[in-house]
Amino acid sequence: MAYLNANIPMIYSQIKREYLYDLKEHYGEVEDCIIFGLASITGRPILFHAIMENGAVFYRLPISAFIQRGFTADQVPRMRLDELELWNCFSYYPSVTTFDLLEGSSGKFFGKDKKKHPGAYLFTVDWAHPESNIVDTDHSEIPHEHKCAHILALENGNYAAQPNNRILWDIPSFTVKDEVPDWKVQTSEWNVEDTRKWKTEDTDKFFYDIEENKND
Protein backbone atom coordinates (compact mmCIF):
# COMPACT_ATOMS: atom_id res chain seq x y z
CA MET A 1 0.00 0.00 0.00
CA ALA A 2 1.41 3.35 -1.06
CA TYR A 3 1.36 6.67 0.76
CA LEU A 4 -0.08 9.59 -1.26
CA ASN A 5 1.16 8.49 -4.71
CA ALA A 6 0.67 5.17 -6.49
CA ASN A 7 1.50 3.67 -9.87
CA ILE A 8 -1.43 2.67 -12.07
CA PRO A 9 -1.66 0.68 -15.32
CA MET A 10 -0.67 3.17 -18.04
CA ILE A 11 -3.57 4.73 -19.94
CA TYR A 12 -2.86 6.22 -23.36
CA SER A 13 -5.34 9.05 -23.30
CA GLN A 14 -6.10 12.64 -24.21
CA ILE A 15 -6.14 15.60 -21.85
CA LYS A 16 -8.50 18.54 -22.16
CA ARG A 17 -6.13 21.44 -22.64
CA GLU A 18 -8.13 23.84 -20.47
CA TYR A 19 -6.93 21.83 -17.46
CA LEU A 20 -3.37 22.79 -18.40
CA TYR A 21 -4.38 26.47 -18.29
CA ASP A 22 -6.28 26.53 -14.97
CA LEU A 23 -9.63 26.28 -16.79
CA LYS A 24 -9.16 29.77 -18.22
CA GLU A 25 -8.55 29.10 -21.93
CA HIS A 26 -8.13 26.47 -24.68
CA TYR A 27 -11.58 24.93 -24.20
CA GLY A 28 -12.47 22.35 -26.84
CA GLU A 29 -8.82 21.42 -27.44
CA VAL A 30 -7.09 18.16 -26.49
CA GLU A 31 -3.62 16.66 -26.71
CA ASP A 32 -2.25 13.17 -26.28
CA CYS A 33 -0.93 12.04 -22.92
CA ILE A 34 -0.17 8.96 -20.85
CA ILE A 35 -1.79 8.74 -17.42
CA PHE A 36 0.69 6.85 -15.25
CA GLY A 37 -0.07 7.52 -11.59
CA LEU A 38 -2.43 8.92 -9.01
CA ALA A 39 -2.45 10.87 -5.77
CA SER A 40 -4.82 10.06 -2.92
CA ILE A 41 -5.60 12.95 -0.56
CA THR A 42 -8.26 12.52 2.09
CA GLY A 43 -11.35 14.55 1.24
CA ARG A 44 -10.32 15.12 -2.38
CA PRO A 45 -11.17 13.17 -5.55
CA ILE A 46 -8.61 10.79 -7.00
CA LEU A 47 -6.03 12.97 -8.76
CA PHE A 48 -4.10 11.63 -11.73
CA HIS A 49 -0.59 12.29 -13.07
CA ALA A 50 0.07 12.45 -16.82
CA ILE A 51 2.99 13.00 -19.18
CA MET A 52 2.57 14.94 -22.44
CA GLU A 53 4.23 14.47 -25.82
CA ASN A 54 6.61 17.35 -25.06
CA GLY A 55 7.95 15.43 -22.05
CA ALA A 56 6.27 17.62 -19.44
CA VAL A 57 4.46 16.00 -16.51
CA PHE A 58 1.34 17.54 -15.00
CA TYR A 59 0.29 16.35 -11.53
CA ARG A 60 -3.03 15.99 -9.71
CA LEU A 61 -5.76 16.35 -12.29
CA PRO A 62 -9.29 14.97 -11.74
CA ILE A 63 -10.75 12.20 -13.87
CA SER A 64 -12.86 14.80 -15.71
CA ALA A 65 -9.66 16.22 -17.26
CA PHE A 66 -9.27 13.26 -19.62
CA ILE A 67 -11.04 11.68 -22.57
CA GLN A 68 -10.16 8.52 -24.42
CA ARG A 69 -8.10 8.39 -27.59
CA GLY A 70 -10.15 7.89 -30.72
CA PHE A 71 -12.64 10.57 -29.68
CA THR A 72 -12.70 14.24 -30.57
CA ALA A 73 -13.56 16.78 -27.91
CA ASP A 74 -16.95 17.55 -29.45
CA GLN A 75 -17.91 13.84 -29.47
CA VAL A 76 -17.53 13.37 -25.73
CA PRO A 77 -20.38 14.66 -23.54
CA ARG A 78 -19.30 16.99 -20.75
CA MET A 79 -20.08 15.29 -17.45
CA ARG A 80 -19.49 16.90 -14.08
CA LEU A 81 -16.68 15.56 -11.92
CA ASP A 82 -19.18 14.50 -9.24
CA GLU A 83 -21.06 12.49 -11.89
CA LEU A 84 -17.92 10.67 -13.02
CA GLU A 85 -16.62 10.04 -9.48
CA LEU A 86 -19.10 9.61 -6.66
CA TRP A 87 -16.81 9.77 -3.60
CA ASN A 88 -13.63 11.50 -2.50
CA CYS A 89 -10.57 9.51 -1.36
CA PHE A 90 -10.98 7.76 1.98
CA SER A 91 -7.36 8.08 3.13
CA TYR A 92 -3.81 8.96 2.07
CA TYR A 93 -3.07 5.25 1.59
CA PRO A 94 -4.37 3.94 -1.74
CA SER A 95 -4.11 0.41 -3.06
CA VAL A 96 -4.22 -0.15 -6.84
CA THR A 97 -5.29 -3.57 -8.11
CA THR A 98 -6.26 -4.98 -11.49
CA PHE A 99 -8.60 -7.86 -10.69
CA ASP A 100 -8.23 -10.75 -13.12
CA LEU A 101 -11.94 -11.59 -13.11
CA LEU A 102 -12.93 -8.05 -14.07
CA GLU A 103 -10.06 -7.32 -16.47
CA GLY A 104 -11.45 -7.24 -20.00
CA SER A 105 -15.00 -7.09 -18.67
CA SER A 106 -17.55 -4.41 -19.33
CA GLY A 107 -20.37 -3.16 -17.17
CA LYS A 108 -22.62 -0.21 -16.54
CA PHE A 109 -22.81 2.26 -13.71
CA PHE A 110 -25.92 3.99 -12.47
CA GLY A 111 -25.33 7.73 -12.54
CA LYS A 112 -26.76 10.62 -10.57
CA ASP A 113 -28.76 11.40 -13.71
CA LYS A 114 -30.64 8.09 -13.22
CA LYS A 115 -29.15 6.77 -16.46
CA LYS A 116 -26.97 3.73 -17.14
CA HIS A 117 -23.47 4.49 -18.42
CA PRO A 118 -21.74 1.46 -20.01
CA GLY A 119 -17.97 1.10 -19.96
CA ALA A 120 -14.97 -1.21 -19.70
CA TYR A 121 -13.03 -2.08 -16.54
CA LEU A 122 -9.49 -0.71 -16.19
CA PHE A 123 -8.42 -1.15 -12.53
CA THR A 124 -9.54 -0.60 -8.93
CA VAL A 125 -8.48 1.85 -6.22
CA ASP A 126 -9.13 0.98 -2.57
CA TRP A 127 -8.10 2.50 0.76
CA ALA A 128 -7.15 1.50 4.30
CA HIS A 129 -5.48 2.85 7.43
CA PRO A 130 -1.74 2.04 7.47
CA GLU A 131 -0.81 1.32 11.08
CA SER A 132 -1.99 1.63 14.66
CA ASN A 133 0.57 4.26 15.68
CA ILE A 134 -1.00 6.80 13.34
CA VAL A 135 -4.27 8.29 14.59
CA ASP A 136 -7.08 7.09 12.32
CA THR A 137 -9.15 10.15 11.41
CA ASP A 138 -10.61 8.58 8.27
CA HIS A 139 -13.38 6.06 7.72
CA SER A 140 -11.79 3.74 5.16
CA GLU A 141 -12.24 0.71 7.44
CA ILE A 142 -15.73 1.39 8.82
CA PRO A 143 -17.88 -1.30 7.14
CA HIS A 144 -20.90 0.85 6.27
CA GLU A 145 -18.75 3.81 5.13
CA HIS A 146 -16.11 2.07 3.03
CA LYS A 147 -16.17 2.37 -0.77
CA CYS A 148 -13.69 1.36 -3.46
CA ALA A 149 -13.40 3.04 -6.86
CA HIS A 150 -13.46 0.96 -10.03
CA ILE A 151 -11.93 2.97 -12.90
CA LEU A 152 -13.94 2.63 -16.11
CA ALA A 153 -13.44 3.68 -19.73
CA LEU A 154 -16.97 4.72 -20.66
CA GLU A 155 -18.44 4.10 -24.10
CA ASN A 156 -19.10 7.84 -24.45
CA GLY A 157 -15.35 8.63 -24.27
CA ASN A 158 -15.16 9.72 -20.63
CA TYR A 159 -13.56 7.90 -17.71
CA ALA A 160 -15.33 7.21 -14.42
CA ALA A 161 -14.52 6.06 -10.86
CA GLN A 162 -17.45 4.25 -9.30
CA PRO A 163 -18.09 2.04 -6.23
CA ASN A 164 -19.50 -1.48 -6.16
CA ASN A 165 -23.04 -0.41 -5.37
CA ARG A 166 -23.25 1.67 -8.56
CA ILE A 167 -22.03 -0.94 -11.05
CA LEU A 168 -23.37 -4.13 -12.61
CA TRP A 169 -20.75 -6.16 -14.49
CA ASP A 170 -21.26 -8.24 -17.63
CA ILE A 171 -19.55 -11.64 -17.64
CA PRO A 172 -21.53 -13.47 -20.35
CA SER A 173 -20.89 -16.99 -19.03
CA PHE A 174 -22.04 -16.15 -15.49
CA THR A 175 -24.02 -12.91 -15.05
CA VAL A 176 -27.21 -14.23 -16.63
CA LYS A 177 -29.74 -12.57 -14.31
CA ASP A 178 -31.10 -9.19 -15.33
CA GLU A 179 -31.96 -7.58 -12.02
CA VAL A 180 -30.80 -4.90 -9.59
CA PRO A 181 -30.27 -6.48 -6.12
CA ASP A 182 -32.16 -5.18 -3.08
CA TRP A 183 -29.27 -5.96 -0.70
CA LYS A 184 -28.57 -4.05 2.53
CA VAL A 185 -25.42 -2.13 3.46
CA GLN A 186 -22.80 -4.27 5.24
CA THR A 187 -22.41 -3.13 8.88
CA SER A 188 -20.77 -6.15 10.58
CA GLU A 189 -17.15 -6.13 11.73
CA TRP A 190 -16.10 -9.76 11.30
CA ASN A 191 -13.72 -11.30 13.82
CA VAL A 192 -12.77 -14.92 14.58
CA GLU A 193 -10.94 -14.11 17.84
CA ASP A 194 -13.65 -12.26 19.76
CA THR A 195 -15.07 -15.26 21.63
CA ARG A 196 -14.13 -16.66 25.06
CA LYS A 197 -15.41 -20.14 24.20
CA TRP A 198 -12.10 -21.45 22.87
CA LYS A 199 -8.45 -21.25 23.89
CA THR A 200 -5.33 -23.02 22.64
CA GLU A 201 -3.60 -25.63 24.74
CA ASP A 202 -0.79 -24.51 27.01
CA THR A 203 1.55 -27.19 25.64
CA ASP A 204 4.30 -27.63 23.09
CA LYS A 205 2.16 -29.85 20.84
CA PHE A 206 2.31 -28.86 17.18
CA PHE A 207 -1.27 -30.05 16.45
CA TYR A 208 -2.98 -28.85 19.60
CA ASP A 209 -6.54 -29.60 20.62
CA ILE A 210 -7.35 -31.85 17.65
CA GLU A 211 -9.53 -34.69 18.82
CA GLU A 212 -11.39 -36.82 16.33
CA ASN A 213 -15.14 -36.36 16.39
CA LYS A 214 -16.58 -39.84 16.94
CA ASN A 215 -19.87 -38.81 15.39
CA ASP A 216 -18.37 -37.90 11.99
Please give the Cα distance from 77 to 60 (Å, whole number): 22
Query: Which tops the pLDDT comparison, 192 or 141?
Result: 192
Please give the Cα distance from 98 to 13 (Å, whole number): 18
Split at pLDDT 50, 70, 90, the class of 210 is low
Considering only CA atoms, which of 42, 23, 59, 45 is closest in space to residue 159? 45
Q: What is the pLDDT of residues 103-160, one digit of tens each?
A: 999 999 999 999 999 999 999 999 988 887 777 777 777 777 789 999 999 999 999 9
Q: What is the pLDDT of residues 80-111, one digit of tens each?
A: 999 999 999 999 999 999 999 999 999 999 99
Note the pLDDT of residue 115. Answer: 96
> Residue 123, SS3?
strand
Q: Is the dihedral of CA 11, 72, 30, 24 positive or negative?
A: negative
Q: What is the pLDDT of residues 170-179, one digit of tens each?
A: 999 999 988 8
Please give the Cα distance from 133 to 90 (Å, whole number): 18
Split at pLDDT 50, 70, 90, the class of 213 is low
Considering only CA atoms, which of 190, 74, 105 is closest in space to residue 143? 190
What is the rounded average pLDDT of the residues 178-199? 82
Q: Tell me the sheet residues that pair with 127.
A: 94
Note the pLDDT of residue 180. Answer: 87
**Are residues 9 and 122 in contact, defined by beta-carbon separation less than 8 angstroms?**
yes
pTM, full prediction = 0.89
Please give the Cα distance from 55 to 38 (Å, whole number): 18
Residue type, 75: Q
pLDDT over 90 for what percent of the chain? 69
